[in-house]
Structure 1
Amino acid sequence: MRVRPLEQIEQLSGARYSGTVEPGTRVDVAFKVGGYVRELAQTKSVTGPRKIQEGDVVAKDDMLAVLRETDYQQKKLAAQASLAEAEAAQKQAQLDFDRTQKLTATGAIAKVELDAQSARLTTSRARVEGARAQVREAEISLADCTLKSPIDGVVLKRAVEVGTLVSPGTVAFTIADTKSVKVVFGAPDVLIDKLQTGGKLPVSFDAVPGQFFGTITRIAPSADPKSRVFDVEATIPNHDDRLKVGMIAKLVVPEGVLPPAALALPLTAVVRSPHDPRGYSAFVVEQVNGKDVAHLKDVKLGDVVGNAVLVTDGLREGERVVTMGATLLNDGEHVRVVPE
């Protein structure tokens, strides 16, 4: 077993965190109308044309998919027919009104008849406007059968096939703008005051050589209720598309002050408490009759700091904690300490 004396730490200088790469902008593209998917966008490949798929680059207003338009074309024709009927009725109402107005001027008929014809004319005009609105609505629905990309980006997900029946609001594609990406990581509350929007953080990736610098663009206003850390976003330019969505990033936080007398326990030393399924424990090595014995102690933990976690109760400074092999031990077991 390997052990390490529990020590106080005063700085988070150089603390390392892991984050996940997310696109600068992510858009779920959904249909506004329902129907059967008639066509998917085609793109060129080494084997010839193929359907658009994950990883393909699209431009703003590029066609992504088309629904079967037959039903919406019929609705447009019906709306146009209703408009024509309403316009004819308005024309007749206008003629009747003009004729009645002349007769009323000569005293041939009562004014009440003119009022009635005026009401009919107003009603016919309203029906024409309503019919025109129905035509415009039908034209919009017909245009909405074609799904277009709202941004320049890359396809992250395609959720439909030709023949798929979709309803209004069905997400068909997820498009992301990866010209800039965000690295999102969780920071403890003791570090939040030291991070500011616009600050720079060094970022590295195992999959991509070189070092990058991210600009802090967002700090969550509240902590996650389960992990008790604040989400922090650092934006990195990605014009050459070297950084891919989902990559793991390593960040080095340059500064941050811990509370007084903060004890840091390596994460490898933490085990589940046998007394509380939600609690945690650590093995402390003590000398008993000249031999090293591991004793299990329940501990209360605070925030995660890099590869360690703050201890708020249960351990004292200087106690030797087992940092390797803790999961293999039993309380009261004799151990042999391997020097580091």
Structure 2
Amino acid sequence: MSPLEAVRHLVGLQAQAPNPPYIGLWSRLADFALADLADLLSSRQVVRLALMRSTIHLVDSRDAEPLRGLLAPVLVRGFRATVGRAFDDVDHDEVAAVGAGIVAEEPLTAAELGRRLAVRWPNHEPDRLAALVRTQVGLVQVPPRGLWGSSGQAKHTTLAAWLPETNAAAMSPDTVIRRYLAAFGPATPADAQMWSGLTGLREVFERQADLVTFRDEADRVLYDLPEAPRPDPDTPAPVRLVAAFDNLILSHADRSRVIADEHRKPVIMGTGNGNVRPTVLVDGVVVGMWGTQRTKRTAVLTITPLAKISAKDRRAIEPEARRLLAVTDPDADTVEIHYA
């Protein structure tokens, strides 16, 4: 696949931080260069905005408005859970319209937008006013945010201003479920709900008569597309260094298919602020976490094991780690692979 085809196939990559989508594509694609994704962002072929689970995702621009329309209730529900009844005295549509007009003229950070809105609605916290606009309006994070190596602030404008020719209807639940299964199946309705934030998906699965079904070890029904590839169970899965926040780790209610329950806390819960650490896969299962550090002339990749890693597996991990550092730190004189 090309990088754009991969972004579309995955229905986007989770992207709270700017760099993980680059590693997410590098870990999946042959001959991927960091500039490939940076060029897609600069040319507006991919965009960054709040979608699944109300989190920032990087998606194909053709998917942005249709997904935003489908997932609008998820964002509203998340906002309501945060503010309770605090905004019942405010016309949400009016705040959204004013905020959309402001950022359509000039991309702003959430803090800047909140301060401007607070002039008109002084009885409400600026950050929550900005969050209300994000809930009601598709707001794109514009470059240089999201470009590899850039430290640009997250400034926002509207989807309509950034992609003026986009005028697509909301994606149907049936369509998004089939695309989810193409990327992450076989899966249960609960898995798809965990990935998307949508509810009531069991009926959507059950009304698609062509889906094939299986039973997992817990006797749950797993659905899949009839034409989906299903390799022999003994097919080896190569070592992979998985990006932070990668949807591979987050896209199932039953995450034990990828990460053991006892390893979830240090990877998913132990970092604060909803962070998800980058992980090491051996035979398709998380066995450790990884991180990089750069001194003036040396790039170091450190692996923190969560389970015993055999000498054979370490020999398979090291060239993959060196391959990654060759992409992320091409100017380093030396590279080192350490185990914590």
TM range, normalised to the smaller chain?
under 0.3
Which structure has the bigger radius of gyration?
Answer: 1
Name the structure where helix makes up a greater proportion of residues: 2
Name the structure where strand makes up a greater proportion of residues: 1
Q: Normalized against structure 2, the TM-score is what?
A: 0.18
Structure ranking higher on relative contact order (CA contacts 8 Å, 6+ apart): 1
Q: Normalized against structure 1, the TM-score is what?
A: 0.18
